Structure 1
């Protein structure tokens, strides 16, 4: 009789494959948690190499997308290791590795999740104990209309309209996408359709993106201003109340949300279509992980340098006047509207220290604002899932809009 029958070999092969998968899962969760708990400065050697920084950002964003589900996957990996250890076998190194890796990952995930839950409760008054409810993408519904708001340089610029179910003219939120000024586009997010359901019209806009040969540092905010003049011209058609306008965006879109609002209210924004007289006064700004200090961000990471090269055309040393034009602190004035800023504390692209310094400048200038730092979250923490970062943003932005824009 064979000492190692086929059925036994099959079970051993399946068990080994399961352990390998468990190791991979445990490593994924553990590395994601290490990028959350270790200080941003610890990763400077990684951030200085584009081929390393981008995978690190992707790993951390996936971690934030999974949110509390990281606890589940780490616990499953731990269970595989523990159950395999209980079997009588002389080869125990892999099960021990699985148990050790997944156990450490599970402990770190429990710590970071608990801190996030209590921190967000302190900021919002709401408890978001397990989020997202599903790790699947949850961007929300599509737009009610897509319009061409301008044709500039032979390029059609489009915007999506999300309209509330109300007969009265609705306050308008202008949503501005991120992407480092060199990528990205309008499209459903966890906020666009949701804001419409709360009674706000949303104009989700595209703008001309930068390339290696086209530097749009002086046209991106002008294009958003162009979209605002289009909204003024079509306000009666779509039921938009242009006396109640807010701007909102994340990352590069956060920079534009701030700069467009501050410049428009100070009478310094020159739209790329329409006239300055058609620009409304912006009543409120909401920026998530906004690029408020590009000058300081350039040396922080390889991707920051690439963005500067394409968007601005070079370094702050070479083009100081261009960087002064795009850095949000230089736009602060007495007419700046109330500004809500949200920032992940472990952002490896837009460092939280720069964003906090901008909020401090608002304090000195007497601009009504609120700065909320969300612990352990990466850049773009709210792009693909209704996780705790998205829920915190919703819970904070809605009262901000109701207070300064109305509902």
Structure 2
């Protein structure tokens, strides 16, 4: 009796693991345009992105999960070869095969981009890694509320140090500063990281025309406090992910064109941005608004409605209109299986940069979805290497 119950439990667990693996890996392997109609409906898009996020967070650990699923399925078949057990075993083996394909592909892509073999993520799945901030400051008070920034400060580094201003994502309506696989990691390599707040948008309080200005305000604070913290603002980069990637690009490009009016300080207080790091950036809000259900929601709560109704707002927040001859070198990082910010949008933006003569690099990693680098998995380790190389070449 106990053995039968154990086999049933093993079969159920194996079925759940195998089904999840097959779905997640299939979504990673399928071209995004093939499932685009599903992404225009809120519930399917949320489900697809949840699977993609879980897959990205577990990354190299999925191979161990796949092996466990196969082992449990085989255990459930011992002594009793039922059709159900055979089906679950076949599903588990398929999950293992698909996981091997994506795991090997990720390792090969990592080697292509960095020149080194990165075989695994952190010792435990979903561990962010890195320490918290060394200091938190209020860089301004806007609408009566303090705008704060977390400071990650290099230790024991002589001379004024370069600065990376990080801008969090969240679709312009959510998100917050906080530890990432990058903040303290960059600080340990000699870069001060200033992780900033900005006023978030909502359907009742649109912020499409103030969020970049708030980041500009934070930059004026960095300039004003450079001597206090031993920062070299002639070696400053902006870095953001998703919506923050849009802001990192737009702020840098607008400063280069003398078109940014910060929420505090003056345009003369703004430092020149030497390099931009943009992680799956929302560079084309006009196109993204009709790509997905989430894109439509962002358009409504950030810009007030569709691009057909507010073309001037979209033109002001899209990144391509701000490209100019003095736009700083721009690094674009993307997961090929991004079901929110389509890789095709980012690739098209990279082509526009190239056509305009702006130095850029576009790194597209296979199988990863939006927000894939929330932990120091293989993808995040690739991003770290590429970012550090970009900073060292362009922040001086």
TM-score (norm 1): 0.95
Matches within 5 A, 1:344-363: 344-363=335-354
Which residue of structure 2 aligns with residue 195 of structure 1?
Answer: 186
Unaligned runs of 5+ in 2: none
Aligned with 1:99 (options 89, 93, 99)? 89
Which residue of structure 2 aligns with residue 266 of structure 1?
Answer: 257
Q: Could you list the per-position Cα deviations for residues 6-50 of structure 1 after superposition, in whole angstroms to 9, with x for gaps in the alignment? A: xxx222112201210111111111111011011112222321211
Deviates more, 1:257-266 or 1:123-132: 123-132
2:38 is the counterpart of 1:46: yes
Cα deviation, residue 52, structure 1: 1.9
**8 A Cα contact 1:70 1:109, kept in partner:** yes
Which residue of structure 2 aligns with residue 392 of structure 1?
Answer: 382
- Runs of 4+ more than 4 Å apart: none
Cα deviation, residue 339, structure 1: 0.4
Aligned with 1:34 (options 26, 33, 37)? 26
**8 A Cα contact 1:68 1:132, kept in partner:** no
Which residue of structure 1 aligns with residue 102 of structure 2?
Answer: 112
Which residue of structure 2 aligns with residue 334 of structure 1?
Answer: 325
Q: 2: CA distance between counterparts of 1:129 and 1:102? A: 23
SS at match of 1:68: helix
SS at match of 1:342: strand
Matches within 5 A, 1:271-350: 271-350=262-341
Cα deviation, residue 134, structure 1: 2.3
Q: 2: CA distance between counterparts of 1:332 and 1:168? A: 33
Matches within 5 A, 1:53-132: 53-85=45-77, 87-89=78-80, 92-132=82-122
**8 A Cα contact 1:40 1:347, kept in partner:** yes
Aligned with 2:355 (options 359, 364, 367)? 364
Unaligned runs of 5+ in 1: 1-8
SS at match of 2:373: coil
Q: Could you list the per-position Cα deviations for residues 166-215 of structure 1 after superposition, in whole angstroms to 9, with x for gaps in the alignment? A: 24211000000000001000001000000000000000001000111111
Larger Rg: 1
Which residue of structure 2 aligns with residue 4 of structure 1?
Answer: none
TM-score (norm 2): 0.98
User: Aligned-residue CA RMSD in angstroms?
Assistant: 1.1
Q: Could you list the per-position Cα deviations for residues 300-347 of structure 1 after superposition, in whole angstroms to 9, with x for gaps in the alignment? A: 110100001001111100000000001000110011000010111110
**8 A Cα contact 1:344 1:376, kept in partner:** yes
Q: 2: CA distance between counterparts of 1:132 and 1:105? A: 22
Cα deviation, residue 154, structure 1: 1.6
